[in-house]
Amino acid sequence: MAITRKTQRKFRSVCFYVLCWICVALGIASLQMFRDFGRLDPEPLLKMFQFALFMGLSHGIYDVIVLKDERDCRPVWKAFLVRNLYFIAAICASIVLCTLLFKASATEGVVNEISLAAICDNLKSHQVQEQAILFFLAAYLITFVRSVHKKFGPRVFWNVLLGKSQEPMEEERVFMFIDLRHSTSMAEELGHTVYSSLLRDYYRLLSNCCEENHGEIYQIAGDGAFLTWKMSSCRKKARPVSCFEDFAEGLRLMGPKFQKKYGVIPAFKAGVHCGKVVATEVGNFGSEMAYHGDVLNTTSRIQGLCTKLGQEFLISEDFYRELHMPIPHGYIAKKEGYFELKGKKHEILLFSLQKPLTI
């Protein structure tokens, strides 16, 4: 049975927490050994590694599975209180589990008098209490790092972490512009507040689909969004096509929820184009990645022809020629013809992606 892209995304996210906790735990253990005049003892390192696995899995499952990799929607004071209680409980439980496993006996089992006495000694130990405080602070640091990584994407995240700026660099990238259908009428019917709530749920699903297909959301402007991929990552896997299919399937599955909550089911149209752009980081305070080039304008205008042609998904000839494999998910490419786009000197050949009718 194949693992879905959604499951892969969640697995990668949990692994991120586990890796962060391993780095933190081994770092704290190394500092304490250095403080103890360089005394090398493998047992504390093994305990720390085991503790990191428990905490990483627990932290990852809480944020990715329980909270669904989203921000806590509860009031600030309640979210802060719940998270504090969770971190305290998880740290104590991990310490207890590590102690039980290290003191387990083949004859007396995991829970025995020696292990219970060791748990009491550990909880009373000043060194363990000091470590627990450090772990509590580290838990918030890892949560912050994860939030920054989600907010700005891997490129800006590493630039911020290393304190460097992204100099202008030419890249080959694929852009997909997704636009919400009938957005004006929906905004008038629902009102601005309810419509904004619909957009939040709509973009939450889109961002998950984009992440699952290794893309990044470059820009969101009202009811439209630019998604982008490196060209090299799309030649063997048509990631934009998979993203389009996943998003369409996600909206289909969530249709009843949208209908019940908002009285409408969102629909969208998309255009894809590729080419060379210049990638650079702009701004000092509140900086972000920017892509400069004609590719973005062309992508937007390709998507704008969807309504005129009665299609949901249009791609350019340039992108079509880069696909060195059959188009996935049963799509077939139909030549729509040459079109003159505003700002372009030459006409551009467009293809629509459609699924054959099944009888």
pLDDT at 2: 59
CATH 3.30.70.1230: which residues of the chain?
166-354
The CATH class given to the 166-354 domain equals alpha beta
The strand pair at 288-292 and 216-221 is best described as unpaired
Tens digit of each residue's pLDDT, the chain (359 residues)? 557 888 888 899 999 999 999 999 888 887 777 766 555 566 777 888 889 999 999 999 999 888 877 766 778 888 889 999 999 999 999 988 888 877 766 566 667 777 778 888 878 888 888 889 999 999 999 999 888 878 777 777 776 676 666 678 898 999 999 999 988 899 999 998 999 999 999 999 999 999 999 998 988 888 899 999 999 888 888 999 999 999 999 999 999 999 999 999 999 999 999 999 998 877 666 667 788 889 999 999 999 999 899 999 999 999 999 887 778 888 889 999 999 887 777 889 999 998 875 44
pLDDT at 28: 84
pLDDT at 260: 92
pLDDT at 295: 92
Strand partners, 175: 228, 273
Closest to 228 (Cα-Cα) out of 239, 236, 323, 237 = 239
Give the integer Cα–Cα distance in Å for 97 and 106.
Answer: 17
Contacts of 225 (CB under 8 A, 6+ apart): 177, 178, 203, 206, 217, 219
Residue type (1 letter), 294: D
Give me the long-range contacts of 149-158 (CB less than 8 A, separation at least 24). 149/16, 150/69, 152/288, 153/216, 153/289, 154/216, 155/289, 156/281, 156/287, 156/288, 156/289
pLDDT at 128: 85
Give the integer Cα–Cα distance in Å for 182 and 263.
Answer: 14
pLDDT at 358: 47
Q: What is the 3-state secondary structure (H, E, C) of the chain?
A: CCCCHHHHHHHHHHHHHHHHHHHHHHHHHHHHHHHCCCCCCHHHHHHHHHHHHHHHHHHHHHHHHHCCCCCCCCCHHHHHHHHHHHHHHHHHHHHHHHHHHHCCECCCECCCHHHHHHHHHHHHCHHHHHHHHHHHHHHHHHHHHHHHHHHHHHHHHHHHHHCCCCCCEEEEEEEEEEEECCHHHHHHHHCHHHHHHHHHHHHHHHHHHHHHCCCEEEEEECCEEEEEEEHHHCCCCCHHHHHHHHHHHHHHHCHHHHHHHHCCCCCEEEEEEEEEEEEEEECCCCCEEEEECHHHHHHHHHHHCHHHHCCCEEEEHHHHHHCCCCCCCCCEEEEEEEECCCCCCCCEEEEEEECCCCC
CB 310 within 8 A of CB 353: no
